[in-house]
Amino acid sequence: MRYPLNKIKKDNVCAEVGVWEGDFSSEILSKNPRELHLIDPWTHQEFPWVKWAKGYERTERVFQKVLRKFQNNKRVKIHRKNSTDVTFPYNYFDWVYIDADHSYDSVIMDLSHFVKFIKPGGYLCGDDYGWSDAANGCPRGPKTAVDEFVKQFGLSLEISSNQFVIRVE
């Protein structure tokens, strides 16, 4: 089980940014959130570090699979959009998990975009904190972005394996 899941309490409002096939979404649902927003463009991507979202037909098949997987779950809201194109009321979420585009710029944009939607005392979490940017052809990445973000805003950061948890005050 991924460490950030321990921060979810029953009836929390949660979001997953970067869903792909929805496997982790099912793990989030096992924690009994009141709502789970799944945010992903499910579109072909040309970046050299993106190995999975290749081909328009494939990404459409994956999206249809996610729709079928969660079609009968009223707690799940699916947003087929880029992460920063989705908006919510301020202080809406208790917990947000980011596992989308791993480039430095995208991670900074996702953190900056979603932090305002998190309730005080809530969590902004993510995957691939120690992801090797250079090895994947991606200039800078999650670790650099997360470290700079928490330092800039004076937030606390927990690391467990490759997972990060930022507590929002």
* Higher-confidence position of 114 and 49: 114
User: What pLDDT, on the 0 to 100 scale, is given for residue 135?
Assistant: 56
Q: Is the pLDDT of residue 94 over 90?
A: yes
Mean pLDDT of 79-94: 97
SS3 115: helix
* Per-domain boundaries in the chain: 3-167
Q: CATH number for the 3-167 domain, one of 3.40.50.150, 3.30.413.10, 3.30.1370.60, 3.20.20.10?
A: 3.40.50.150
Q: Is the pLDDT of residue 121 over 70?
A: yes
| The model's pTM | 0.90
Q: Is the pLDDT of residue 133 over 70?
A: no
User: What pLDDT, on the 0 to 100 scale, is given for residue 39?
Assistant: 98
Q: Please write the tens of the pLDDT for every residue from 39-60.
A: 999 885 555 544 555 557 788 8
Is residue 45 within 8 Å of residue 54, measured between CB atoms?
Answer: yes
